[in-house]
Amino acid sequence: MLLFSVIPGVGYLITAGVVRLLKVDRTLMRQIQSDLEKRRSNYSELNEYQELKTSEHVRKA
């Protein structure tokens, strides 16, 4: 009974408290968006490099 009612409820209250304390204003949101864009570009560059490296390895074999 506790596993389906009280324990998830306590987890929800803890999560709600943490979210309530987190202050996200416009400047922080812009910073987050900028960081995510940098990560996306780095990921795509890494992915392109891995594909190139794999295709060269296949040609050698």
Prediction pTM value: 0.49
Q: Which domain holds residue 42?
A: 2-60
48/61 Cα distance (integer angstroms): 20
Q: In the chain, how many domains are there?
A: 1
Q: Is the pLDDT of residue 59 over 70?
A: no
pLDDT tens digits, one per residue of 10-38: 999 999 999 899 888 999 999 999 999 99
Distances (CA, A) of 10 to 4, 21, 22, 41, 49: 11, 17, 19, 39, 46
31/21 Cα distance (integer angstroms): 19
